[in-house]
Amino acid sequence: MPITELRKRKKEIISTTSLQKELPEVKVMDNEKKKEYRVHHRKRVLSDELEQLISKSTASRELMKAISKVKYDEIDEIKVVDRLALKKLKSIWRKFPIYSLDYTIQEYFDLSLKILSGLDVNQEVIQEFIYAGVSDIDFTKYEEQQKISTFLTALIANSSEENITLDVRNLPPLNYLCCFLDKPKKITIVGDVGDYTAYGANSGMIIVKGNAGNETGNSVKGSAQNMVKIMIEGSTGDYSGHNAKYCKIIIKGNAGNCTGSRLQEGSEIVVKGNAGNFTGMMSKGGKIKVHGDVGKKTGEYLNGGRIEIEGNAGDATASNAVAGEIHVNGNIKCLGYNISSNVKIFERGKRVWPRVDTNYITPHAPS
């Protein structure tokens, strides 16, 4: 029967939109392993499958024509959640000690690892816990936010999976995610994160599909053989890469103030957008490259390494710098004061420091 005729008779018409919705979950009991699983069916209904279900009536033919015009999303895998493991995880969470200033971050993380030792859960269980297990958290309290952040990071560290993707968009930006990571895992976080992401890590790759707060990659301790890699697909706050050693950080958006401050040997920071003031302040080695503009006092107290700016640099560039190189492909508003002759500064490919005029003395700091 044609669809127009169905409308006249006020019959219910199957909507093509509903065909794209996920099927309901199904609980399955594995009697052999004594485990209960919850299966999420995410596979979309396809037209060739419907052909086996619908008779060749006029109405079905009209429906098949409508279905053929639907653009289907990529088919996801069927995901299985170990319900018993999730239940055990929630039980541990309820007894988990809340963070207090009696602990350092390192001590609290080590305690978390100890409490969770022997519990190896996959990313589906961790994700389900993020969705359903944190409803009792008061995120306005720092100690409670630190509790969930450290708990999740310890779960990631204990998991035997080397490639973990977690969606945290239902949570506020958490601090210290992936801190002290010491295994070559690839961790992808979907959503924004807070401060100190990957703090103290010495291995692995962390990808954030969102923005990051301050101190991203702070005190990373990689090695020449095991470089830590961090990619932020959004923007970051201040002090990204502070004191990082053998770490590569790529920021696809903008970066805040003091990007690459105290950067150590073997490290590299790439900012695709602009960076704030004090870029590369007190850096001792490594390389910083900014594709956009930077603010004032770029390279202040620079003590080694190389800074490359594709755009313009602000006031007082290289103030009090003692070693290293600064290359600005745009314009430098003005050089700073007390610049050592060991520092090399280039503007649009031309060396502007040390000056050819050996009698020139860089101005002193204003009194």
Closest CA to 120 of 149, 91, 82: 82
**The length of the chain, given as a count of residues:** 367
Q: Is 199 a domain residue? A: no
Nearest-10 crossing angle of helices 123-132, 142-158: 160
Q: Predicted confidence band at 109 (pLDDT cuts at 50, 70, 90)?
A: very high
Closest CA to 123 of 197, 185, 73, 41: 185
Question: Which one-letter DSSP state was computed for residue 172?
Answer: P
Q: Is 144 a domain residue? A: no
The amino acid at 314? G
Evaluate whether 258 touches 239 at the Cβ level (below 8 Å): yes
Q: What is the mean pLDDT of residues 251-274?
A: 98
Q: Predicted confidence band at 21 (pLDDT cuts at 50, 70, 90)?
A: very low
pLDDT tens, residue by residue, 48-68: 444 455 445 555 566 556 555
> What is the spatial distance between Cα 367 and Cα 347, in angstroms, rounded to a whole number?
28
Q: Is 95 a domain residue? A: no
* pLDDT value of residue 304: 96
Evaluate whether 287 touches 241 at the Cβ level (below 8 Å): no
Question: Which one-letter DSSP state was computed for residue 266?
Answer: T
What percentage of the chain reaches a pLDDT higher than 70?
A: 74
Question: Which one-letter DSSP state was computed for residue 289?
Answer: E
> What is the spatial distance between Cα 253 and Cα 212, in angstroms, rounded to a whole number?
10
- Lowest mean pLDDT: which of 56-65, 67-76, 261-270? 67-76
Q: Is 206 a domain residue? A: no
Evaluate whether 230 touches 219 at the Cβ level (below 8 Å): no
Q: Is 275 a domain residue? A: no
In total, how many domains does the chain have?
1
Structural domain harbouring 15: 3-77
Q: What sign for the dihedral angle of Cα 49, 54, 56, 57?
A: negative
Q: Is 241 a domain residue? A: no
The amino acid at 312? N
The pLDDT mean for the chain works out to 83
Give CA separation, 64 vs 1, 13, 49, 67, 234, in Å: 13, 13, 11, 5, 42
Give CA separation, 300 vs 85, 297, 326, in Å: 52, 5, 11
176 — alpha (psi -120 to 50), left (phi > 0) or beta?
A: left
> What is the spatial distance between Cα 88 and Cα 90, in angstroms, rounded to a whole number?
5
β-bridge partners, 328 = 309, 347
pLDDT at 72 over 90: no
Q: Is 21 a domain residue? A: yes
pLDDT at 228 over 90: yes
CA angle 126, 191, 310 (to 5 degrees): 135
pLDDT tens, residue by residue, 140-199: 888 888 999 999 999 999 999 999 999 999 999 999 999 999 999 999 999 999 999 999
pTM of the entire structure? Answer: 0.77
Q: Is 150 a domain residue? A: no
**Helices and strands, counts by H and E, the chain:** 7, 14
> What is the spatial distance between Cα 52 and Cα 96, in angstroms, rounded to a whole number?
52
* pLDDT value of residue 11: 45
